[in-house]
Chains A and B, each alone.
Chain A
């Protein structure tokens, strides 16, 4: 026990965060074990496939980190991401909107959902889970109505789909760079700007922040809006990797995004969030999904295992808080 304490006190480790180091070790260990168990797991195709998962899930996770930091929750992000991809994709393929405006439409749709959710939670005090449930269905409905319930396929790179170079150019995974840059920006927003300061503080003690003369409602709504924009980006990376989206789906990604976030050390009670942790958490989740498939299990096991992980991660958070009190 003393040794662990000593390690934790080490200034370098303190700076990086003990939990994040442990998490990173878990990630490496998982990778090694999977490489031993599955032939060719260490090969490029698997890594690229896992990275495709990392991109869109990563943006979702980053987004929901802001919301959870306020002490709220948003589990409409998966279906909203599909809604963004469908609305913008339909505009592109069927309404003749050029590529760049289409991508911007995706961001705007995400932003609108985020603002709606944020407005209802912050200004109306509607419980976040009700808002999430409603906006999840509204997103599905809007997507279905807009596309007349048809799936949308985004163009391949050769046919004007230049946006795919945001994901990869040749064999080079551009997406990972974009993701890490966006994560860095999120980290800066959360830790070095007014918005981040107030979002974290109000997640920890809303009333104290309000009594310091801060407009807490505005900042709380902003957290949901930031989440919305990131969901819009996630949509672009989803179609960049998987091309086709179908209306009516997207639920399972909610859980995976929340899993990445909570595993990374963001507390469900609000006030504590770590973008670095979320990034590592997302890698673990993506690797896990890839590993489950590689081990010959179906997608269904992914759902179950992710569900169990979230339960364990949240329970650990609950216990940590209980111990503190």
Chain B
């Protein structure tokens, strides 16, 4: 019984965003007949996986009141590193995946130490690791695009994790995993020490320290989670797209952070919901896939994402101002 009040409150934002998603979906369906196809769903899903995964991860630094800007270029870097091992060193896919994940965890750890222990401003520390991972990615791929095994090649099993082909139908299986992970992280955020202290750091760090919490450790953990999920996203990205190009990835983080903030993660820290993040990302994905259907170039999506991000933060600020006036 007892736990009902908070989720009800957070759900409010989630419900609103969910309605926005449905409304967008309806709008595009009405506006464009081409949109009403099964393949559109597949496209939306393909685009959503890596962004959702990044967004789930980056929610943790955001809730501590920080940010992780290194996830976008990080994703490309981890994918290139893993792909390099498969293509040029003949590693099995599974082993390469483990390397990608470890890479992500290490970068997360570095971010965590820079911010949690050394006290660098989060945006600056992660802006640097963003550039560093971009350089590292290009170096390990020798500046060439890398393709993880494509369907039909040996070691391409990982692609069917995300898109299962039965006969002629393709099933976006990845959504199931992404949903399960979102639920798992929702549990971590709300029902484990890691999540509880992540919120405490973002809400009132001083009080957290006075309560005898090892704040440095949990601060680092938030960034490790973010790095790990960026690495998971890199696997999803490699599985969905044919080729990964070095030098890309900048801008992915905006879509992820935008999704998280639209989904109700506070830009100033302390509050957030992973289920909300999941739904928020779909607002971004729908815009990304839907806008071309109504005749806007794909690049409009960048502008719209930026505007939507600012807009959702402003709504949050207005809400807070009203509350403080009460």
Which chain A residue lies CB-closest to B261? A130
Chain A CB within 8 A of B114 CB: yes
Q: How far is the CA of A32 from the CA of B306 in the complex (A)?
A: 45
Q: How far is the CA of A184 from the CA of B251 in the complex (A)?
A: 35
Chain A CB within 8 A of B176 CB: no
Contacting pair A137 B305 (CB below 8 A): yes
Q: How far is the CA of A307 from the CA of B107 in the complex (A)?
A: 13
For residue A82, give the distance in angstroms from its CB to the closest CB of chain B: 12
Inter-chain contacts of B253 with A (CB < 8 A): 133
How many residues of A sit at the interface, in one of the four size bands? 35 or more
Chain A residues 127-148 with CB under 8 Å of chain B are: 127-138, 140-142, 144-145, 148
Contacting pair B299 A311 (CB below 8 A): no
For residue A100, give the distance in angstroms from its CB to the closest CB of chain B: 28
The segment from B13-21, B127-135, B179-187 that touches chain A is B127-135
Q: How far is the CA of A255 from the CA of B137 in the complex (A)?
A: 17
Q: How far is the CA of A73 from the CA of B302 in the complex (A)?
A: 21
Contacting pair A314 B299 (CB below 8 A): no
Which of B67, B132, B257, B300 is in CB contact (< 8 Å) with A303? B132
Q: How far is the CA of A300 from the CA of B299 in the complex (A)?
A: 26
Q: How far is the CA of A133 from the CA of B123 in the complex (A)?
A: 10
Which of A126, A132, A140, A303 is in CB contact (< 8 Å) with B313? A126
Q: How far is the CA of A322 from the CA of B304 in the complex (A)?
A: 41
Contacting pair A255 B127 (CB below 8 A): yes
Contacting pair B303 A304 (CB below 8 A): no
Chain A CB within 8 A of B250 CB: yes
Inter-chain contacts of A303 with B (CB < 8 A): 131-132, 134-135
Chain B CB within 8 A of A205 CB: no
For residue B2, give the distance in angstroms from its CB to the closest CB of chain A: 34
For residue B129, give the distance in angstroms from its CB to the closest CB of chain A: 7
Knowing A136-B254, A144-B299, A315-B118, say if A252 contacts B131 (CB, 8 Å). Answer: yes
Chain B CB within 8 A of A104 CB: no
Q: How far is the CA of A246 from the CA of B72 in the complex (A)?
A: 20
Inter-chain contacts of B250 with A (CB < 8 A): 251
Knowing A126-B314, A144-B302, say if A137 contacts B254 (CB, 8 Å). Answer: yes
Q: How far is the CA of A140 from the CA of B300 in the complex (A)?
A: 10
Knowing A130-B309, A134-B307, A255-B128, say if A75 contacts B123 (CB, 8 Å). Answer: yes
Chain B CB within 8 A of A216 CB: no
Inter-chain contacts of A242 with B (CB < 8 A): none
Chain B CB within 8 A of A286 CB: no
Which of A132, A137, A149, A268 is in CB contact (< 8 Å) with B121? A268
Which chain A residue lies CB-closest to B119? A318
Knowing A144-B297, A318-B120, say if A138 contacts B135 (CB, 8 Å). Answer: no
Contacting pair B124 A314 (CB below 8 A): yes
How many residues of B sit at the interface, in one of the four size bands? 35 or more
Q: How far is the CA of A298 from the CA of B134 in the complex (A)?
A: 13
Contacting pair B297 A149 (CB below 8 A): yes
For residue A170, give the distance in angstroms from its CB to the closest CB of chain B: 36
Inter-chain contacts of A255 with B (CB < 8 A): 127-128, 131
Contacting pair A130 B267 (CB below 8 A): yes
Inter-chain contacts of A298 with B (CB < 8 A): 138-139, 143
Contacting pair B128 A311 (CB below 8 A): yes
Contacting pair B317 A124 (CB below 8 A): yes
Chain B CB within 8 A of A99 CB: no
B267, B268, B310, B317, most chain A CB atoms within 10 A: B310
Contacting pair B306 A134 (CB below 8 A): yes
Chain A CB within 8 A of B109 CB: no
Which of B119, B127, B257, B307 is in CB contact (< 8 Å) with A138? B307
Interface CB pairs A-B, < 8 A, 19: A124-B314, A125-B317, A126-B314, A129-B123, A131-B310, A132-B123, A133-B306, A134-B307, A137-B254, A141-B302, A142-B303, A268-B124, A300-B134, A300-B136, A300-B143, A301-B135, A307-B130, A310-B128, A318-B118
Beyond known contacts A126-B317, A137-B303, A303-B135: 13 more, CB 8 A cutoff: A128-B123, A129-B69, A137-B306, A140-B299, A145-B303, A149-B297, A252-B131, A298-B139, A299-B135, A299-B138, A300-B134, A307-B135, A322-B119
Which residues from chain A sit less than 8 Å from chain B, CB to CB? 73, 75, 120, 124-138, 140-142, 144-145, 148-149, 247, 251-252, 254-255, 258, 268, 298-304, 306-308, 310-311, 314-315, 318, 322
Shortest 8 CB-CB contacts between residues of A and residues of B: A141-B302, A303-B135, A141-B303, A144-B299, A134-B306, A307-B128, A138-B306, A300-B135
